[in-house]
Every structure is written in structure tokens, then in C-alpha cells.
Amino acid sequence: MSLNAEPSLMPLPAKYTFGSGRLAITENFNLSLSGQIDPRLHDTITRFIERLSRQTGITFPVNSRLPVTLAINCNSIGKEWPALGDDESYTLIVDAQQARLNAPTTLGVLHGLETILQLVQQDERGFAIPAVNIDDRPRFPWRGLMLDVCRHWMPIDVVKRTLDGMAAVKLNVFHWHLSEDQGFRIESKRFPKLHERGSDGHYFTRAQVREVIQYARDRGIRVVPEFDMPGHATSWLVGYPELGTDPGPYQIERHWGIFDPAMDPTKESTYRFLDAFIGEMAALFPDEYFHIGGDELNGKQWSASAHVQAFLKQHGLKDNQELHRYFNTRLHAIVHKHGKRMEGWDEILDPALPKSIVIQSWRGQKSLNEAARQGYSGLLSAGYYLDLMQSTEFHYLNDPLDEESAALTPEQRSRILGGEMCMWTEFVTTMNVDQRIWPRAAAIAERLWSPQSVRDVRSMYARLARISRHLETTANLVHRQAYRMMLERLAGADPVEPVRVLADIVEPVKLYTRGDTRDYTSWSAYNRMVDAAHPESDAGREFRYAVEARDWTTVRNTLTTWRDNGADVRRTLESHALLTETIPVSENLTKVAVIGLQALDAIEGKQPLPAGWNASEVLNTAKKPVAELLLMAVPGVEALVSQASGTAK
């Protein structure tokens, strides 16, 4: 029997062919390193062996004289720090005797080792890697993940395991959103009141920042810091109100949204401050790129300020947009002086800025194409917002080179460097951050790495289910465990299983609707079912697939479980304060399941539809969000009902 290994790979390699046969992984496993050996590879290899050992339960001997089962060759060490455009390619050839991993630089070795770990499988004979021939390289050079550590504090262990997950799926840029209205999250030696007054004590020390950068480098990941200005900057102004347009005083913002405080672009002292601050940060972060934010400036403080309005007149500036351009131009000179390239959100796109900047497009793909047309490099983030609770399929099919980009010249297209997913953390805590990012991030990683033609959604989901486990077992993530733990907390001493059945078939409300019915702040608890529920319900999707496939056994079993769950879970929901709000959701689930079973009986010819049967009232009610939850049993049952109605005709 040969192993079927494709289902375990994500991202899929650029080119691969599976052979027959398998390379057994036994206690005789032995590896060799040749060529140019980057010292960081020793640590990588040690971790690789530990992870392989954890996966297989095999203890591997050290310094063995056994024949080499994994021969690694690296042609050059590459640059000290990973950089945009590095050669990340590798080849991996596996036959029954040996695996040979070859790479031009250390980065390819890192990626190839992750591929090997994904390929390891177990069958009745033990653990093995299937025979395969892989020739792999990324489609886009910039494959990022942005983590907001400000709205909710995300300590260093969260950052590190995020980096572990990123490395496992070959992402290569960690965009660290370090300042916001709600928190200034990095120690500044030069301006200590930034972190002392602006962070509630939750910030990264400079030593921790160095540690993270090193940790990322060891995994082939660049670290790009973001300091958001001139808006989204309240936390800076708590310690340094003189940086603000109004005299203050300012307080750390506790709510979510867009707020008025903005830096004062008219004072020379603002630029002296930013020069010193950016100088300090530019020395700390080795990456060439430096993100200055620039998004969502509402301009209210500027418009209401007499001295800002006088400045506009004096400088012949028409409006706030021109003033923002002026600010960005000054900022660009500072960033450039400190040896960095400036990056910013869509809003900074302006012909006044040099073409060396990078535009991160979050408002839509149009602005990315427009930037490329104007000669700017860009990244796609629109469609990759993990906080909006959209399906993996939605993110997966969102391509940085969309249909409209076909109208771009090849040169313009080459300016689209890739994409970055964004994890904004208004509604995300250390408890659920992993499951908000993973496993969806793995599918986006595939979009950014694999050939554009790789877009089979069913294949993606089948592989994602395996990769999701892999990310926990070998990459330190806790996205599946945390779900269980949050549900156990909700259930108190009661059995968690019936609560899980309910939680499995709901999803949090989508887009920016969370908070429409409640006033959330940074003090809120975020410990309800909506916080535990996965962004996408696998149970709901699998049910839909089963209906489409007319797999009536699965459909009936699922509907029966859902129908009966109402009675199973009722007492727990009634007797736990955090769960009472979900009682109507559970009731809807039972009703929807009953409708589904009636439809199925009709389809299977067991029982005709009851006279005057009307499914739509139940289904329409069940579609409405309750407790900020969507009941994902509905779409599949709707499909079933339409089949049944067809049968009835």
C-alpha cells in the first residue's frame, strides 16, 4: 500500500509528483547536513527531531553512525536577516531509501523541513514519508500575518506560538501592530512615558522584542513593526499630550472604533519627536520595512483646531487630506533617513510619496490595483480580515491577483507583492486568539504560496482538517484545545458534550455587526458562547455537503443528534448564567432539525410532508442572530427542504 500524502500538505507545493513506496521512519532515522551550514540550522534540526519524535513516539538516537535517511544540502547561508525577495525554494526527493532536501539558501531548508513534518503519516506498518518528488517555491514573496497586540494584549508566548504556526505553513512576514488608541505596547528608552503611561503595564520590553525578532528569524520570518499615526494614536498622547492636536489631557481609550485624537502635524516638535522615536525603533527592528499606519484618520481634531486651520491657509493646503499628505511626506523623510522603506494602509496612497513605499490595501482590491498602476508596490489585506468571522472558503478564493488585475501590465502585476491577513483583537483575547487565526490562516497561506490554479475548495477543506491537528500537535498552537476549555468553563460542572454539539453548529455574527446590540469595551469579559464558537462551523458545512451528496444516512444521523440535543442540553443552559442567552438558539436547532427530518422522510419516501407544511417560518426565525450567534444548521436544511418540495410536486 502506498500512502496518500497529498491530503496532508498545506500549502500545496508548486510542483509535486507522488511515487510508489515509502521511506519508513524508525529509530534508525538519521540525518546529515552538507554545503553551507547556517548556525541557526542546528537549532532548527534539534526542533525538527523533537517534533518528529513527538509525532511518532520514536526516540531518535543522537550522533548515530547509521545510514543517512534525510540528507540536507544547503548551497548558501543567505542573508543574516530574512528579506523581501529572498530565494525560499527547495526540492525534496523521497524514495524508499532516503529523503534528499536541497535548497539554495537556509530559508528553503526551513520550508522543506516543514513539508517533511506534514508528510509523515502512520499506517498499519508504522510511520513513513511517502515517495515523492517536490520542486517548491512561493508564488508571492510577501506572505504575512498581522497581529494587533493593542486592543487586547497578546503576550510573548502568544506571539511565539503564532510564529510557530506561521512557519509551519510557510508564512514569512509577521506584521506587529504595536500602537493603538487602546495601548502602546513597546518599551521606548527615549520616551518612556509612551509605555509607562500608555499601556496599563502591558508592553514588550526591548529585550523581548529582540527575542521575538530572533525567534522569527530562526523560522524564516521577517518582523515588520507598525506604529499607527497620526490617528489611532491616543495611547501615545497619554504620556506626551504635546504630540496631540488638542492640549489634552488624554486617557487610554477603552472603547472600540475610530476616535478623534490625532497627532499635531503643524508643529516642528512633532517631527523632532518622531525622528527620535523612529530612530530608536529603526535600530531595534532589522527589517527594511517600517509601517506607519495612516488609516482611519477622522480629521475632527484638525478641523476644529484654530492653529491647524491657520496652518492650512499658510501652506496653501486645501483640506485635511492634503494635510495628511504633508504629514506623510515629512514622515517619509524621517523613515527614509533611518534607512527604512515606508509602508502604510491604503489611505496614504498619494502621488506625492515616492514609489519606494508599500501600500497595504484593506479597503478593497481596487486600491491595490490602482497602486500598482501608479507604480507602487502593494499587499492585499482586503478579504483577509480574520476578525470578520468569514469562512475559510471566502478567504481562500480571495486572490491578490484578481480578475481585474488581468488588465495590469506584467510589470504592474509584479508590484503586487502578496498579502497579509489581519488579526484585529477588539473581540479577541489570549483565550481565543489561536482559534480566531487558525486554521483559517493556513488556507490563506496556501493562497499566497501555491500556484494560482490551486483553488479546489473541497480539497482545501479536506487538507485543512488534517493541518489543523498538525498545527496543534507539532506547532504549539492551541486553537482546538482552547475551544474545549472555553466550553467547559461555560458548562461549569455539567457535561460539556451537549454544549459542544450546540457550539459546533453556531458561528459568531459576521463583519462589524458584533457590538451592534451590546456596548463592548476593553474591560468586557469575552467569555460567552460567541467567543468560543469557531468562525466557521465545520458541522454546518459538512452537513451541507452531505445534503448535496444525498448521503441520507449522515443527514439523518446529524439531524437526529441536533433534534435531541435540545433536551440533552436544556438543564445546563438554564442553570448557567453565561448560557441562558443561548436557550432560544438551542430551541431553534431542535425546530430546524425536526423540519429537516420531515423533509428527509419525504425525500426518502418514508412519510409524505404533513398537510399545510410550512418550513419557511421556522427557518426564517432561526436565521436571525440570537446572542450574536448564527445557527448554521439552517443553510443545509433549506437545501433539504427545497429538495423535498421538489419531491412533493
Cα–Cα distance, 345 to 327 (Å, whole number): 14
- State how far the alpha carbon of 447 is from the alpha carbons of 11, 12, 368, 438, 456, in Å: 8, 9, 17, 15, 11
Residue 296 or 601: the one with the smaller Cβ distance to ligand ACM is 296
Q: At its nearest, how many Å lie between ligand ACM and the CB of residue 295? A: 4
- State how far the alpha carbon of 378 is from the alpha carbons of 141, 350, 371, 418, 607, in Å: 12, 13, 7, 7, 59
Q: At its nearest, how many Å lie between ligand ACM and the CB of residue 226? A: 9
Residues in region 199-218 near ligand ACM by CB under 6 A: none
Residue 273 or 362: the one with the smaller Cβ distance to ligand ACM is 362
Residue 134 or 353: the one with the smaller Cβ distance to ligand ACM is 353
Q: At its nearest, how many Å lie between ligand ACM and the CB of residue 126? A: 49
- In terms of phi and psi (left: phi > 0; alpha: psi -120 to 50; beta: otherwise), the region of 70 is beta
Q: Strand 358-361 to strand 341-345: parallel, antiparallel, or no bridges (unpaired)?
A: parallel
Asked if 362 interacts with ligand ACM (CB under 6 A), we say yes
CB 75 within 8 A of CB 104: yes
Residue 174 or 362: the one with the smaller Cβ distance to ligand ACM is 362
Residue 48 or 227: the one with the smaller Cβ distance to ligand ACM is 227
One-letter amino acid identity for 544? R
Q: At its nearest, how many Å lie between ligand ACM and the CB of residue 408? A: 23
- Give the CA angle between residues 213, 328, 280 to the nearest 5°: 35
Task: Give SS3 for 361.
Answer: strand
Cα–Cα distance, 17 to 5 (Å, whole number): 10
Helix axes 457-475, 156-168, angle to 10 degrees: 130
Count residues near ligand ACM (CB under 6 A). Answer: 4
Q: At its nearest, how many Å lie between ligand ACM and the CB of residue 367? A: 12
Q: At its nearest, how many Å lie between ligand ACM and the CB of residue 297? A: 10
Residues in region 329-348 near ligand ACM by CB under 6 A: 345
**DSSP per-residue string spanning 26-70:** -TT--EEEEES--THHHHHHHHHHHHHHHHH-PPPPSS--SPPSE
Residue 296 or 542: the one with the smaller Cβ distance to ligand ACM is 296
- In terms of phi and psi (left: phi > 0; alpha: psi -120 to 50; beta: otherwise), the region of 451 is beta
Q: At its nearest, how many Å lie between ligand ACM and the CB of residue 296? A: 5
Residue 295 or 399: the one with the smaller Cβ distance to ligand ACM is 295
CA torsion 320→326→328→333, rounded to 10°? -170
Cα–Cα distance, 70 to 152 (Å, whole number): 43
Residue 86 or 253: the one with the smaller Cβ distance to ligand ACM is 253
Asked if 426 interacts with ligand ACM (CB under 6 A), we say no
Q: At its nearest, how many Å lie between ligand ACM and the CB of residue 422? A: 7
CA 69 to chain centre: 35
Residues in region 263-302 near ligand ACM by CB under 6 A: 295-296
* CB-count exposure of residue 475 (10 Å: 0-12, 13-18, 19+): buried
Asked if 396 interacts with ligand ACM (CB under 6 A), we say no
* CB-count exposure of residue 61 (10 Å: 0-12, 13-18, 19+): exposed
Residues in region 148-187 near ligand ACM by CB under 6 A: none
Point out the residue whose Cβ comes nearest to ligand ACM: 295
**Residues designated as active site:** 296
Note the residues at the interface with ligand ACM (CB under 6 A): 295-296, 345, 362
